[in-house]
Structure 1
Amino acid sequence: MDAHASVKPDAGAPVAPGVPAVHAVPLPRRPLDPSEPPEAEPCAPPAGPDARARRWYENDLGWAIVPGRPLRLLTGVRFDVLDVPAEAGAGALRHLAPGSPVALRGDRMELLVAAGSAEELPGLLDWLEWGAVSLDLRALGAGDALEAPVPPLPGAREAGSVRGAAVWLRPPGPGREVEASLPALPAMGREGSAPDLVRLVDTVALECHRARLRRACAGPQAALRRDQPLAFS
């Protein structure tokens, strides 16, 4: 029997007359060198600022992300948010611990507070005798989401590059250390470990009321001043 009779040509491959067909065998691969870094996937897209921001929130902070774009943070799990005028929030900064995160979005300030605070806010305002006063104050809690502020990461988009984008005035630290710095009610069993939510809400309500009165007295000029950039220490 011919030695080449059992060798079948590859499907679709032309075979020259009189030349025995052989299978195409790939060359042996070079052994891996453990000292060399692994090769990157040729089709993997480069990690952009949005991907780095998502990893920072999910991996470094452990915060829940809402699927889709823009990048949004789920509230009511690790934290709630008090959304107030920036001028009112500035008056309340002294009541916050140094590590308590605060974001700035245009003329609004977003104060992170303990999870569950949004549910307590209406009763707390009534107890502080602010319930009957119209205040420019709202809370984000369970079932809500906060558009993620631009994280303090190399390569992240600058705040001025996206109109209306929020930035961290006081960025959060890694891990669950953030929760220990958030304002909470003493009844939550965290008295002494975080600023008092009662004092913070009372201060924010007072500053919101004062800001409303100032705008009412100043008239149209107040709107012009609100368009000016704000700076806080």
Structure 2
Amino acid sequence: MALTVPPPRVPPSAEPGGGARKEPWDGWGRWYEEELGWATAGGSPVRLLTGLAFDALVVPAVAGHAALRRVGRTGPVALMGLRMSLLVAPGSAEELPGLLDWLEWGGVALSLSGLGAGGRITAPPPPGRPVPPGAASWLRPPRSSLEQDEAPALPAFSGFGSRGGDAPDLVRLVDAVATECHRARLTRARAGLFPDDPAAQPLAFS
């Protein structure tokens, strides 16, 4: 009688949908929900929902880095590949087109967009956790309730979405980001590259 030898067991971490593979992502979602009160969408990777606790300005990372050097203090900032997400007060994305017009950037082609209600960004690992290759990461991380009494202020219009005027200035941030997006676009054009060609953007940032 022939014996049937069962195939070798695959470790749970290597199995599609295995519990060990999913646990870190699930843990990240719980951290954002419990420590920061941010809504998340399940899955792998976890997504942070915009339009509730915050909106996001999404820009080319090279332009975002230059803008951050100009404006200094901001809210949390995340990197994902060659794109940067700057977290701002909820409602800011809806105001972005009008604000750009007011700042005289209306009609100028900019690689700048706002994510508000119904949007989402990829959740980086919580601060202090290792970042897997190719994953999103925090350039300026949020702080948990264990580190402070309340969440950090997000860039906002004066009196709009801020607490006692302690929020960084959204107008100054948007103007700086728009300026750097335009400057990066002109640089790519002078180099003979298409305006939004990612090849003109560095793969690593200091």
Q: 1:52 aligns with which of 22, 27, 33?
A: 27
Alignment of 1:68-107 (within 5 A): 68-94=43-69, 95-97=71-73, 100-107=75-82
Matching residue of 1:115: 90
Q: 1:197 aligns with which of 170, 183, 187?
A: 170
How many pairs does the alignment contain? Answer: 180
Q: Provide, for residues 149-208 of structure 1, a one-character-per-residue CA deviation record: whole Å limited to 9, x for no partner.
A: 222244x4x242xx3x2100111001473342x100014163630111001000100100
Matching residue of 2:160: 188
Unaligned runs of 5+ in 2: 1-18
- Structure with bigger gyration radius: 1
Question: Which AA in structure 1 matches 2:96?
Answer: L
Equivalent-residue separation in structure 1 for 2:175 and 2:141 (angstroms):
24
Matching residue of 2:138: 168
Unaligned runs of 5+ in 1: 1-44
Q: Are residues 220 and 132 of structure 1, via their aligned partners in 2, closer, same or farther at CA, if it must alter by over 3 Å?
A: closer
8 Å Cα contact 1:107-1:230 kept in structure 2: no
Equivalent-residue separation in structure 1 for 2:161 and 2:44 (angstroms):
36
Task: Give the % identical residues.
Answer: 56
Q: 2:101 aligns with which of 105, 122, 126?
A: 126
Q: Are residues 103 and 96 of structure 1, via their aligned partners in 2, closer, same or farther at CA, if it must alter by over 3 Å?
A: same
Equivalent-residue separation in structure 1 for 2:161 and 2:155 (angstroms):
12
Q: Are residues 132 and 225 of structure 1, via their aligned partners in 2, closer, same or farther at CA, if it must alter by over 3 Å?
A: closer
Alignment pair present for 1:208 and 2:178: no
Equivalent-residue separation in structure 1 for 2:72 and 2:41 (angstroms):
27
Equivalent-residue separation in structure 2 for 1:59 and 1:188 (angstroms):
26
RMSD: 2.3
